[in-house]
Amino acid sequence: MRCDEVMSREVQSVRQRDTVLAAAKLMRHANVGFLPVSDDDGRVVGALTDRDIVVRLAADGRDWHTPIGDIMTTELVSCRPHDGLEIAEQLMRAHHTARVVCVDDDGRARGVVSLSDVARNDDPIVVAETLGEIVTREPSPR
């Protein structure tokens, strides 16, 4: 099975210069905890998670008008839409993340594969092993 067969295609995204407040409102409206962050040309350069907001904004006492680029996760975990689902799963395990952005040849987001997408489409034992790897968090790089 390929990533483009299971990924969420309606990807909400933000720009580095947008405020964290705007991103938080978008997350609430879209009912998501993850947003790809794009540069001005639309290429994905990182991600913003609800955890980033808690750990890098709220816990540090920063202002809600802080640009997303100041607190986002800069390590981009991505694959291609035509990659096999096992590639996305390997990336999740290696990077301790529950989401992988599927980007096209120009680096633009075409979808997101989440652990729940994997769970609906893969062997339950493999999914459990992947979940075990993901929750064994290492300190996140910045």
**Beta partners for residue 44, in sequence order:** 38
Domains of the chain as residue ranges with CATH:
3-135 (3.10.580.10)
Is the pLDDT at 8 greater than 70? The verdict is yes
Give the pLDDT confidence of 23-56 residue by residue, as tens digits: 999 999 999 999 999 999 999 999 999 999 999 9
Q: Rounded mean pLDDT of 122-131?
A: 71
Q: Which of 11, 1, 93, 92 is nearest to 44 (CA)?
A: 11
Burial status of residue 112 (CB atoms within 10 A of its CB: 0-12, 13-18, 19 or more): buried
- Give the global pTM: 0.83
CB 101 within 8 A of CB 48: no
For residues 129-138, b (16+ Cβ closer than 10 Å) or e, as one string? ebbebbeeee
